[in-house]
Every structure is written in structure tokens, then in C-alpha cells.
Amino acid sequence: MNIAVRPSQQLPAASTHAVTRAMTPNVLVIHPVPLLRRGATSALAETDWFSAARFLDFASVHDAANALTGLAMGDLVIVTSSEHGALIQALGSKAGCGVAVLLLGPSDATAARLFNENRIDAVLPTEAPTSELVHLATLLAAGGRSAPKRPAGPRQATGVGRLSVRQLEILELMTRGLLNKQIAWELGLTEGTVKSHVSAILEKLGCSRRTQAIASFLATTGSNPAGTFARP
């Protein structure tokens, strides 16, 4: 688990003004997979720090364009690594100047460079538990940062972190009970392409059945076995 947070790390002391601002921050979650977006917002909304936050979720930075223009110091953006370039461009001078950015993706050389340039504030692998998401998000909202740690050797992603964005989209549709033919129609793919992706998903997750892959995905997103959320 390449989480760039030390267990002993404490939240920084904040001024009265900072605490007041943090009680009602805007939290934007940008990821193409709806279940991952909802899992993140649900986990954070259950905490004291974000209980009064305004949550918005989008599939892409393009969809979030209007919301991004209204961000201010103390706000938080959680974004998938495939969208970080577009996000930095959209934020402009706001990146590194009070709007915290939590990157969902590998802790690699690119993440380290972006951190050093004050363009992101922390990195969280996709397969990390929700407790790590809550810890990092709270740290960033309080004004802290957490440097990504470079792995000693080549990083091997585990669990859903091994899946491509397309495979995550297909797996999420599987959790809704859709068959391959229905998934193909939803995503504009051929049924054969979907079958190939499903086989790859099962192999990467070490599963022999669709139900096992679905259970693994729901556990990662913080959903219950029925696929619903603690907070809609």
C-alpha cells in the first residue's frame, strides 16, 4: 500500500478563520466511475469535518468546469490521475494557492513532480481503503500536505488499482446486474469487447466468478453488498 501518510502524522493546528472556512468547504470528486465518486462522497460526508460540506461529483474536468471556477481557499478536489492535467489547467493559479488537490492514482515520478511544483497535495492509490481517503482528505482540508513516497522498486498495483478506467466502468455496470449485452449497449461497445474486458477484470482481481469481482469492487468503494450507499 503506497499511502504517503505516516501513522503518527497529526492534523496541523489551524487558526479560527481556517476552522470556520473548513466547516463548509466545497468538495469536488472527479472520476469517470459513478460508484467510486459516490463511495468517496459518502465516506467523507459521514465525518465530523465534512458533515456540512457541499459535495459535487463529475465524470470529467470538462463537466466540472463551472464548479471549478467557484472554488476558494479551503476547498478540496479529489481527481483521478487521468484527469489531473486538465484539472491543473482549469484551476490555473488556484492550484497550490489554497485549493487542495488529492490525486487518485499511483505514487510515481509524475506524482512526485506535481507535488514538488505545488500542483497536488497528496496521492491516494485507487485500491486504498476509505479510512485512508478520510485521513488524507481531512489533512488537506486542514491545510496540510502529504508527500508521495516513491516505492523502493517497481510498483505493482493490487486489487482494483490494476484495472483500467474502461474496466472500472464495466465492473461498475456489473454491480448493477447488467449482462454483457446490456453493458455493451450502455458503453457503445461490441459484446465481444465487453466479454474480453470481463475476462481481464476477473484475471486481474484473481476471481473466478463475476460475483467475486463485484464483491471486491463494492468493498473498495465502501458500498454494502446490495450496492447501496450509507448516504445517497
Measured between alpha carbons, how far is 103 from 221 in angstroms, rounded to an integer? 16
In this structure, are 75 and 178 located in the same domain? no
pLDDT of residue 156: 53
In this structure, are 131 and 71 located in the same domain? yes
In this structure, are 171 and 197 located in the same domain? yes
> In 3-state terms, what secondary structure has residue 44?
helix
Measured between alpha carbons, how far is 157 from 2 in angstroms, rounded to an integer? 9
pLDDT of residue 22: 42
pLDDT digit string (tens) for the chain, length 232 residues: 333 333 334 444 433 333 334 446 899 999 988 888 888 898 899 998 898 899 999 999 999 999 998 888 889 999 988 888 888 888 876 665 678 999 988 777 778 888 887 788 999 887 777 888 999 999 998 888 998 876 554 445 557 777 888 888 898 899 888 999 999 998 899 999 999 999 998 988 888 889 888 888 877 766 544 333 333 3
* Domain around 133: 16-141
Strand ranges across the sheet with 76-80: 54-58, 26-30, 76-80, 100-104, 122-124
In this structure, are 98 and 171 located in the same domain? no
In this structure, are 135 and 54 located in the same domain? yes
Residue 22 sits at φ, ψ, to 5 deg, of -70, -20
In this structure, are 94 and 172 located in the same domain? no
| Number of domains making up the chain | 2
Maximal CA-CA distance, the chain:
58
Q: How many residues make up the chain in this entry? A: 232
Here the CATH number for the domain that contains residue 57 is: 3.40.50.2300
Rg of the chain in Å (alpha carbons): 18
In this structure, are 193 and 88 located in the same domain? no
In this structure, are 22 and 131 located in the same domain? yes
pLDDT of residue 94: 63
Q: Do the domain assignments include residue 86?
A: yes
- Does the pTM exceed 0.75? no
Measured between alpha carbons, how far is 29 from 97 in angstroms, rounded to an integer? 19
